[in-house]
């Protein structure tokens, strides 16, 4: 009999014996178990360790092994019974998780119009592999990284923001979503309001609610966030935090109008509030000039800028950066030391290698051309196949189209019918912090394998709506 099977046999015997005893009863000694069951001391030791790990017994050195006061929980229908957690978690409310940007696997033949990442064919896979290989060869690749991030990487992110931002104003983060969660916890207290564009990024709403904040919608129009209504929202709520995406807004693709960019910052400053500028799509332009970040012209720390390499590179390149000034940066550094100490150095080194090569700029130019073409293909196909659907705009950057559905259709009906026609979509409702004014869909053009698939997906959506 192998050692493994001996241990399993003894564990089963002891479980049955524990079930017959009462909490606090003493089990036979190790010597007795060795003699009684004809096993070795190592087998006995490992069997008792397994039972202790399960919580069935407790061991007291020099005294013996005793039946635990907390008996093993029963297994119901072949599945563990976790109903006890309802009591343990009572009063610790956490909102439902944000909808997944893209399911890990879609059924074969499905065209993905859902999701918020690039298809593998658009990702700089070879560049990433080379950057990671070069980073791994550095003699200090596995040394501890500074809490704020590698100086070289912080300098590169500071240059992306522009203005007089320096590396001392930058904190490297593990992607954008984690940075959002940290920012909301750092800047506001549970129960506080946070102003958001309506619609907005569902992951931001989820992060805000998980931090105990109350998202308050501020309407947009074709030029972006409305400064007049923003001022009213600050006055009515007393909010000290605004979250917005002024460049290639998710989901609408809107770019905040030039005359409003200064106004929005001034309104936030007058309210004594922080403005979190989520600049996730700065490197996802379609070839036209991209406006400067709001943070580039901010000198008093009103704007906290958030950037990321995840969207233009790969979902697994979880490297982002927060740019902030003043006490809020010291608070963020303090949270970093509590939460996770630092971001893994090899990944930071790989990001430095990636951003420092001329091939990265070539990738961004190629990506811009591909995204512009894909966007046009999907927009044209939707106009042809679904002329009654109202396209908000053909964006000049980003990964999505935002459509308002005809009055006779609901987004739930379309989203439920689409999979049967082998196409996936994102419903619009999760993008709204309150009631949605109408039914919408967010359709991505970057996750499909080929541009031709986008035209096919529009035809499939039209068939799905006719079938419904």
Output the pTM of the full model: 0.82
| Average model confidence (pLDDT) across the chain | 91
Looking at per-residue pLDDT, the higher value among 406 and 52 belongs to 406
Within 238-357, residue ranges assigned H as helices are 258-270, 327-339, 345-355
Q: Is 200 exposed, middle or buried (0-12, 13-18, 19+ CB in 10 A)?
A: buried
| Together in a domain, 35 and 148 | no
Would the pLDDT of 96 be above 90? no
| Together in a domain, 444 and 299 | no
| Residues shown for the chain | 468
Q: Are the beta carbons of 319 and 131 closer than 8 angstroms? A: no
Give percent of the chain above pLDDT 90: 75
The residue segments making up the domain with residue 34 are 3-67
Asked, for residue 321, whether it belongs to a domain, the answer is: yes
Under DSSP, is residue 348 helix (H, G, I), strand (E, B) or coil?
Answer: helix
| Together in a domain, 327 and 204 | yes
Domain end marker among 356, 379, 406: 356
Would the pLDDT of 95 be above 80? no
Asked, for residue 106, whether it belongs to a domain, the answer is: no
For residue 446, the tally of other CB atoms under 10 A from its CB is 24
Asked, for residue 80, whether it belongs to a domain, the answer is: no
CATH of the domain at 440: 3.90.1150.10
Nearest residue to 171 via CA among 182, 163, 185, 162: 182
pLDDT of the residue at 108 = 84
Asked, for residue 88, whether it belongs to a domain, the answer is: no
pLDDT of the residue at 435 = 87
Asked, for residue 218, whether it belongs to a domain, the answer is: yes
Would the pLDDT of 72 be above 80? no
| CA atoms lying within 13 Å on the CB side of residue 145 | 25
pLDDT digits (tens, 9 = 90+) for 228-278: 999 999 999 999 999 999 999 999 999 999 999 999 999 999 999 999 999
| Together in a domain, 386 and 341 | no
For residue 54, the tally of other CB atoms under 10 A from its CB is 14
Asked, for residue 462, whether it belongs to a domain, the answer is: yes
| Together in a domain, 309 and 413 | no
pLDDT digits (tens, 9 = 90+) for 130-161: 999 999 999 898 999 999 999 999 999 999 99
For residue 284, the tally of other CB atoms under 10 A from its CB is 21
Q: Is 288 exposed, middle or buried (0-12, 13-18, 19+ CB in 10 A)?
A: exposed
Asked, for residue 95, whether it belongs to a domain, the answer is: no
| Together in a domain, 284 and 195 | yes
Within 151-257, residue ranges assigned H as helices are 151-161, 176-187, 202-210, 227-237
Domain end marker among 330, 356, 382: 356
pLDDT of the residue at 4 = 58
| Together in a domain, 455 and 377 | yes
Would the pLDDT of 1 be above 50? no
Asked, for residue 98, whether it belongs to a domain, the answer is: no
| Together in a domain, 166 and 295 | yes
Looking at per-residue pLDDT, the higher value among 290 and 89 belongs to 290
Gap between the Cα atoms of 412 and 410, Å rounded? 5
Would the pLDDT of 98 be above 60? no
Q: Are the beta carbons of 52 and 39 closer than 8 angstroms? A: no
| Together in a domain, 301 and 448 | no
| Domain total in the chain | 3
Gap between the Cα atoms of 194 and 200, Å rounded? 13
Would the pLDDT of 187 be above 50? yes
Gap between the Cα atoms of 72 and 433, Å rounded? 43
CATH of the domain at 318: 3.40.640.10
| Together in a domain, 49 and 140 | no
For residue 136, the tally of other CB atoms under 10 A from its CB is 13
Domain end marker among 297, 331, 356: 356
| Together in a domain, 349 and 249 | yes
Local structure of residue 26 (DSSP, 8 states):
B
User: CB-based contacts of 157: which residues, under 8 Å, 6+ apart?
Assistant: 167, 170, 172, 307, 321, 323
pLDDT digits (tens, 9 = 90+) for 408-458: 999 999 998 999 999 999 999 999 999 888 999 999 999 999 999 999 999
| Together in a domain, 250 and 190 | yes
CATH of the domain at 22: 1.10.10.10
Q: What mean pLDDT comes out for the span 312-326?
A: 94
């Amino acid at each position: 009999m192998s050692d493994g099977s001996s241990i399993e046999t003894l564990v089963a015997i002891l479980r049955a014996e524990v079930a017959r005893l009462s909490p606090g009863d003493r089990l036979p000694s190790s010597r007795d178990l060795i003699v009684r069951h004809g096993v070795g001391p190592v087998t006995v030791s490992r069997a008792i360790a397994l039972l202790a790990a399960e919580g069935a017994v407790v061991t007291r050195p020099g005294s013996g092994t005793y039946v635990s006061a907390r008996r093993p929980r029963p297994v119901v229908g072949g599945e563990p019974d976790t109903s006890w957690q309802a009591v343990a978690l009572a009063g610790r409310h956490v909102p439902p998780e944000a909808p997944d940007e893209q399911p890990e696997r879609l059924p074969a033949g499905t065209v993905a119009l859902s999701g918020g990442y690039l298809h593998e064919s658009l990702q700089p896979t070879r560049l990433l592999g080379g950057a990671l290989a070069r980073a791994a060869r550095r003699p200090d690749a596995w040394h501890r990284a500074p809490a704020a991030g590698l100086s070289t990487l912080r300098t590169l992110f500071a240059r992306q923001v522009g203005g007089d931002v320096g590396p001392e104003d930058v904190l490297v983060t593990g992607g954008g979503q984690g940075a959002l969660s940290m920012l909301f916890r750092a800047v506001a207290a549970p129960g506080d309001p946070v102003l958001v564009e309506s619609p907005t990024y569902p992951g931001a709403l989820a992060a805000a609610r998980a931090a105990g904040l109350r998202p308050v919608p501020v309407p947009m129009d074709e030029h972006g966030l409305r400064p007049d209504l923003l001022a009213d929202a600050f006055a009515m709520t007393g909010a000290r935090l605004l979250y917005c995406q002024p460049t290639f807004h998710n989901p609408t693709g809107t770019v905040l109008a030039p005359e409003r960019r200064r106004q929005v910052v001034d309104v936030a400053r007058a309210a004594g509030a922080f403005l979190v500028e989520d600049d996730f799509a700065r490197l996802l332009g379609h070839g036209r000039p991209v406006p400067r970040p709001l943070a580039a012209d901010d000198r008093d720390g009103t704007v906290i800028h958030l950037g990321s390499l995840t969207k233009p590179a790969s979902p697994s390149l979880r490297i982002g950066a927060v740019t902030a000034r003043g006490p809020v940066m010291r608070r963020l550094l303090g949270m970093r030391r509590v939460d996770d100490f630092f971001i893994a150095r090899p990944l930071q080194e790989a990001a430095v290698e990636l951003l420092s090569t001329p091939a990265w700029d070539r990738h961004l130019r190629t990506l811009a051309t591909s995204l512009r073409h894909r966007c046009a293909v999907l927009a044209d196909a939707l106009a042809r196949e679904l002329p009654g659907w109202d396209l908000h705009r053909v964006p000049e950057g980003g990964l999505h189209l935002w459509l308002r559905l005809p009055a006779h259709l609901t987004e739930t009906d379309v989203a439920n019918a689409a999979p049967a026609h082998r196409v996936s979509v994102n419903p619009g409702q999760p993008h709204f912090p309150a009631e949605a004014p109408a039914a919408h869909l967010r359709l991505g053009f970057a996750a499909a394998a080929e541009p031709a698939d986008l035209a096919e997906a529009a035809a499939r959506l039209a068939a799905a709506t006719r079938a419904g």
